[in-house]
Amino acid sequence: MSGWGLAAWLMLGGSTVLLFIGMPVALTFITINIIGAGLYMGGEPGLMQLARSSVSSVTAFSLTPIPLFVLMGEILFHTGLALKVIEGVERLIKHVPGRLAVVAVVAGTVFSAISGSTIATTAMLGSLMLPIMLSRGYHPTIAAGPIMAIGAVDMLIPPSALTVLLGSLSGISISKLLIGGVLPGVILSVAFVLWIVIRVSISPCAGAGGQGRCGATPRLGALEPVFAYVLPTLSIFGVVVGALAAGWATPTECAALGAFATMLLALCYRALTWDAVLKALKGTAGISGMILFIILGATTFAQILSFSGASSGLVQFITGQGLSTNMIVVGMMLMLIFLGIFVDQVSMMMITLPIFMPIVQALGIDPIWFGVMFLICMQLGLLLPPHGLLLMTMRGVAPPSVTMGHIFIAVVPYVVMSLILLTAVFWIPQIATWLPKLIG
């Protein structure tokens, strides 16, 4: 075996094995990095260089949006504004079939996009909304499906901490990647909502006994929570995306604006207590510290792969097989979907990006197009039976009446819609690239 082949097996294979046996992500890559630096970077000098690279990797200004986006989600959660928004949306669509399932998609999309933690959001909504939906007569497949399906859209619609992380690790423009996910994310969210409405309309007994019908006019009183909570909270999204799309602010400045707007909104509602602020700051510090620790391991991991010759060797091997660009992209997407069944999104990025991005650059692939498909694949893997992580999360928080069979059946239509979107983006790249090009 060639030198680069042995290095690739040691670095990539070793990290994969450690992840599969349950070692924490950051510790896995730091362990492999120390071994790799000792073997391929000259022993002690390599370890010193590893330390210097580790420090520089987490002091990059481009990473600043991550804790600010996380802070937005923590403030909304700990001040209680998140629950007020859920209640407002439910009252607005009171006469829509399957309204609680629709609320689960809308609320889950907003909160998981801001916090960047799909699994945490699924667990929160599963424990909060699933018992309520079951008590109101929703079939388990209708109740559980939307809560898991939010995993397919959470990183596509900004603001998203994990999209910033993907852009930082891959070298893709963070602002363009954030904007590029908007249209695919909206398409998928609308498709999910339409499926729920159609499914419950066809079989009313599946969703709260079919209480209400589309087209009914909400009472004036039902609109009060919308104007009081939903629209002001959505204005945060407008502040962040509007400033980013107009070019008035960088991603870091937009994140700061969003965090400031969130705290100002909570202050206006007199919900910004010291207790809520402390809890939000503690949560932000914990999540951000974990993400930055992971970035530290990922960046130095990529450097050691490059220094050992494994990156260039793998790129030359793959591009020398005579495969078309489309076939190579399809192969990378299938690998991402497969990995998603077993590991979390951050681990997927750390395992694949050091290999995928040099191939993307060598073949001249549009990085925004590739990045959006990367995001879709990461979430799609989490939804696939039998071991998708969101399925396992749902089983952990669901009541005993919801069986694993219910969970598998519930997720099927959302997996199909996600696959259709991925195929559409693959054959029509403009779905992902049109909006970033439009705003320049």
- Between 410 and 286, whose confidence is greater? 410
Q: What is the pLDDT of residue 440?
A: 65
Look up the domain containing 325 and give its range.
3-438
Reply yes or no on whether the pLDDT at 408 is more than 50.
Answer: yes
Neighbours of 338 (CB within 10 A): 13
Q: Residue 414's pLDDT is what? A: 92
Distance between CA atoms of 390 and 120, rounded to whole angstroms? 10
Q: What mean pLDDT do residues 413-436 have?
A: 94
Q: The tokens of 326 are what?
A: 């489309």
Query: Does position 78 have pLDDT exceeding 60, yes or no?
Result: yes
> Does the pLDDT value for residue 215 go beyond 50?
no
Rounded (5°) CA angle 229-133-183: 55
What Rg value do the Cα atoms of the chain yield, rounded? 22
How many angstroms separate the CA atoms of 265 and 273, rounded?
12
Q: Nearest Cα to 328, choosing from 359, 368, 372, 371?
A: 359
Token digits of residue 112: 């998981």
Residue among 159, 180, 177 nearest 168 (CA): 177
pLDDT score recorded for residue 223: 66
How far apart, in Å, are the Cα atoms of 58 and each of 52, 70, 171, 300? 11, 17, 15, 11
What distance in Å separates the CA atoms of residue 200 and residue 286, rounded to the nearest whole number? 40
Q: What's the pLDDT score for residue 212? A: 37
pLDDT band at 220 (very low <50, low <70, confident <90, very high): very low
Main-chain phi, psi angles of 117, to 5 degrees = -120, 95
Q: pLDDT band for position 124 (50/70/90)? A: low
**Mean pLDDT estimate for the chain:** 78
Q: Are 371 and 170 in contact (CB under 8 A)?
A: yes
Buried b (16+ CB within 10 A) or exposed e, 204-224: bebbbeeebeeeeeeeeebee
Domain count, the chain: 1
User: Residue 296 carries which side chain, given as an amino acid letter?
Assistant: L
* Side-chain half-sphere exposure of 184, counting CA atoms within 13 A: 37
CB 342 within 8 A of CB 387: yes
Write the CB contacts of 346 (distance below 8 Å, at least 6 apart in sequence).
Answer: 25, 162, 165, 291, 294
Whether the CB-CB separation of 390 and 383 falls below 8 Å is answered with: yes
- If you ran DSSP here, which 8-state letter would residue 11 be given? I
Here the tokens at position 45 are 């000098």
Cα separation, 164 vs 170, whole angstroms: 10
Is 394:147 a contact under the CB 8 Å cutoff?
Answer: yes
- Better pLDDT: 188 or 159: 188
Q: How confident is the model at residue 191 (pLDDT cuts 50, 70, 90)?
A: very high
Q: For 300-312, what is each residue's pLDDT tens digit? A: 776 777 777 776 7
| Tokens, residue 130 | 């699933």
* Cα distances (Å, whole numbers) of residue 437 to 70, 179, 424: 28, 10, 18
Six-digit token pair at 329?
């992209």
Tell me the residue type at 265: L
- First-to-last CA distance in the chain? 47
Question: For residue range 369-395, what is the model confidence (pLDDT) as tens digits?
Answer: 999 999 999 888 878 876 677 787 787
